[in-house]
Amino acid sequence: MKVKVRVPATSANLGPGFDVAGVAVSLYNTFTFELIDEGLEITGCPEQFAGEDNLTYEAFCEGAKEVGLEFTGLRIECKDEVPYTRGLGSSSTCIVAGLVGAFAFKGRYNDRQDILNLATRIEGHPDNVAPAIFGGLTVSVNADTVTTLNIPVKNDYRFVAFIPPFTLSTQLSRSVLPDVVSRKDAIGNISHLSLLVASLINGHDEGLRIGFHDHLHQPYRGSLIKGYDEIMHHLEQDEQVLGCYLSGAGPTLMAVIRADDLMGVVRLKEAMHDCLDGWEVMKLEMDRQGYVCDFE
Ligand code: HSE
């Protein structure tokens, strides 16, 4: 028997929701797991990731421990669409898939809350793993256990990802953040995230134009990303862009447009032609399912 797990990419933070908010998008990594007599075989990923320190394998082992799955060997086949180290949750897809794979061999593939708690423990924060598990746009509180709820988004939006030709590690991107922030900045983020959530629920697009602003991480991270100021400036000037933000820890930048803004991507690409050398521009939809598990 093989277990096949498809996990969506995610875009975390959405501006002010640092380590709290995230959205699943229509770009997927797929992993197939098979128990074998002995050894570890990993195919479909770069060779340097094909050893025992493979994140999917490590998560599978954690999941196996949790559900009491004993195994002597494992084969993992990976099919990747999500670019690595670009702020689109590729490591979360590995963690979620590994856990779901192990849970599935014990028939527990749909135990999403248990998978969320474990995935958050491995990742350190829930904002990427939660939407990868539940789909949609989520907010999470990470206390003794993780509490995640979906935001019922009223309007239909598209997410336009501006993916640079270079990577940025989450570790480096977190290292530039201050440990202490001012009350003004804290209030700024609480108010903007609250407005963002209320605007998504009410379909209040004017509120979105304000709600995506962040004071906690983007001001510190922008200088790590060549082209950040220029691209964000262009996006902020476009009257039909409802919001733009740094996706996860970056370096991908994300713009939100209405689904009926059919020319949005063409318009933005043309307007920003001079500052997008080597950048990939991808139009994504919100994924509403989260991971999908199947048996072969
Ligand atoms: N919330 C995380 C960050 C997402 O911004 O660092 C990336 O893991």
Each residue's pLDDT tens digit, 142-182: 998 999 999 999 999 999 999 999 999 999 999 999 999 99
Tell me the average pLDDT across 28-46.
Answer: 96
Q: What percent of the chain has a predicted confidence (pLDDT) above 70?
A: 100
CATH superfamily of 157-284: GHMP kinase, C-terminal domain (3.30.70.890)
- Is 103 in contact with 114 (CB distance < 8 Å)? yes
- Is 106 in contact with 69 (CB distance < 8 Å)? yes
| CA-nearest residue, atom 3 of ligand 1 | 249
Tell me the average pLDDT across 30-50.
Answer: 95
Residue 93 has pLDDT above 90, yes or no: yes
**Ligand 1 centroid vs 125 CA: distance in angstroms?**
8
**Strands 39-43 vs 73-79: parallel, antiparallel or unpaired:** parallel
Taking alpha carbons only, the member of 233, 236, 268 closest to residue 161 is: 268
CB 132 less than 6 A from any atom of ligand 1: no
CATH class of 2-150+287-295: alpha beta
Domain extents for the chain? 2-150+287-295, 157-284
* pLDDT at residue 109, as a whole number: 97
Give dist(CA 290, CA 112) in Å, integer: 10
- Is 201 in contact with 152 (CB distance < 8 Å)? yes
Each residue's pLDDT tens digit, 227-242: 999 999 999 999 999 9
CB 170 less than 6 A from any atom of ligand 1: yes
Q: Which two tokens stand for residue 288?
A: 């509403």
- Is 73 in contact with 38 (CB distance < 8 Å)? yes
Residue 283 has pLDDT above 90, yes or no: yes
* Rg (alpha carbons) of the chain, rounded to whole number: 19
Each residue's pLDDT tens digit, 96-118: 999 999 999 999 999 999 999 99
Tell me which DSSP letter residue 137 carries.
Answer: E
Tell me which DSSP letter residue 48 carries.
Answer: G
CB 248 less than 6 A from any atom of ligand 1: yes
Residue 89 has pLDDT above 90, yes or no: yes
* pLDDT at residue 46, as a whole number: 87
Give dist(CA 186, CA 216) in Å, integer: 7
* Total Cβ atoms within 10 A of residue 176: 12
> Where does residue 52 rank: exposed (0-12), middle (13-18), buried (19+ CB within 10 A)?
exposed
Q: Which two tokens stand for residue 269?
A: 């690409």
CB 249 less than 6 A from any atom of ligand 1: yes
Give dist(CA 10, CA 126) in Å, integer: 11
| CA-nearest residue, atom 1 of ligand 1 | 19
- Is 89 in contact with 10 (CB distance < 8 Å)? yes
Give, in degrees to the nearest 5, the angle at Cα 245 between 239 and 247.
140
* Total Cβ atoms within 10 A of residue 283: 17
| CA-nearest residue, atom 6 of ligand 1 | 249
Mutation probe of ligand 1 site: the residue of 11, 55, 127, 225 with most atoms within 8 A of C-beta: 127
**Ligand 1 centroid vs 45 CA: distance in angstroms?**
23
